[in-house]
Structure 1
């Protein structure tokens, strides 16, 4: 947004500068005027000769609007700033302002140029301000992008670590499952061996009991036979 406004302001300044220059060049040609020469007073008459009635006495430097000249060129029909229409001697007129009038016009032009300059200066100041704001916004955007890049890099590292941890967890889960199978196998083998040991104990105990019974039956008989022999 700031970049677009900045360009629009530059275009506006250029157009205003061109307009001021065009006005200064075209303004003198907008109206064809005549000026009283450096004489003290001249008479504005109702007709193109000194025989006609005087309407008003005009001071040197007065602004007059040219209308036409008489056939002999000695008088010129003009209109004053107050709207009075009449004839004045052509010899007292000139198409350029007198020195004092030139000074006034020059001062007016100077004042206008100063006003235009101040306006351009103000716009230039605003443009500089907007440019500074734009640069600051761009700097903040750059810093934000750098922060986002760092955060993205951190997320990538965390994601990589998470993937590695998940892989390790899967490996540990697999190893744990294998250990569980081995433990179950060992338990089953131990139970089998324990069962075989108990069976051996039973067989041995049964054998000893059977041997005791046999000895209990055989030994008395053997003792009886020995007694008969001695008698």
Structure 2
């Protein structure tokens, strides 16, 4: 009875050790992407087939045969089987990488779309600013044209006033010259007539006395 208990404890100890070794050795592997793999009951072609896995399927590596040609695996259906070691790879399969790649593509597309949108927004801003600048330039040119027209009109008015002033000056000078000539003429006439008139009156007065 004691021997049976000791044997049972030893068996449990070996089972526990095997489970620990199994957990420590377990590693993720992937079926290569270029073919389908048949699962065998043991590490060799002499063992029967128990199923297959598609390329890219993820499996857990449990152990490797002594010659390294076969690997004991566990698939996602919890099947324990053997496959040729060369048909396994450490790199994630395209099937596993596809979601990450799609996510990266989506992120890049979003960044590209955002960059394109930012670029378009910047172009729209520059276009708007250019339009406003062109409108201001057109308004300034219009105001400049109005000012030039007003300046020309004012210059024309000033020239007209100067001409009128010159004409008035000439007319005034002509008037003064004319009046001066008349006064001089009248004075000359009076200067010639008065000496003739005044002596005669004096002579008459003398005769009458």
How much has 1:128 moved relative to structure 2? 3.0
Does 2:185 match 1:210?
yes
Q: Report the Cα distance in structure 1 between the residues aligned to 2:198 and 2:186, rounded to whole angstroms.
A: 18
- TM-score under structure 2 normalisation? 0.56
How much has 1:62 moved relative to structure 2? 7.7
Q: Alignment partner for residue 196 of structure 1, among 140, 151, 171?
A: 171
Q: Report the Cα distance in structure 2 between the residues aligned to 1:62 and 1:120, rounded to whole angstroms.
A: 27
Deviations 1:7-43 (A, max 9, x none): xxxxxxxxx99946x513xx46xxxx9x9xxxxxxxx
Q: Report the Cα distance in structure 2 between the residues aligned to 1:122 and 1:184, rounded to whole angstroms.
A: 90
Aligned length: 153
Gaps of 5+ in 2: 1-29, 51-64, 74-79
Change (3 A) 1:178 1:162: same
Q: Alignment partner for residue 109 of structure 2, among 125, 129, 134?
A: 134
Give the root-mean-square deviation of aligned CA atoms.
4.0
Deviations 1:23-69 (A, max 9, x none): 13xx46xxxx9x9xxxxxxxxxxxxxxxxxxxxxxxxx68467xxxx
- TM-score under structure 1 normalisation? 0.52
Change (3 A) 1:120 1:63: closer
Q: Report the Cα distance in structure 1 between the residues aligned to 2:112 and 2:136, rounded to whole angstroms.
A: 36
Change (3 A) 1:230 1:17: farther
Q: State the 4+ residue runs in structure 1 displaced beyond 6 angstroms.
A: 110-114
How much has 1:228 moved relative to structure 2? 0.7
Q: Report the Cα distance in structure 1 between the residues aligned to 2:203 and 2:172, rounded to whole angstroms.
A: 47
Q: Alignment partner for residue 23 of structure 1, among 26, 36, 44?
A: 36
Deviations 1:96-118 (A, max 9, x none): 58xxx998364555986783546
Which one has more relative contact order, counting CA pairs under 8 Å at least 6 apart?
1
Does 2:127 match 1:152?
yes
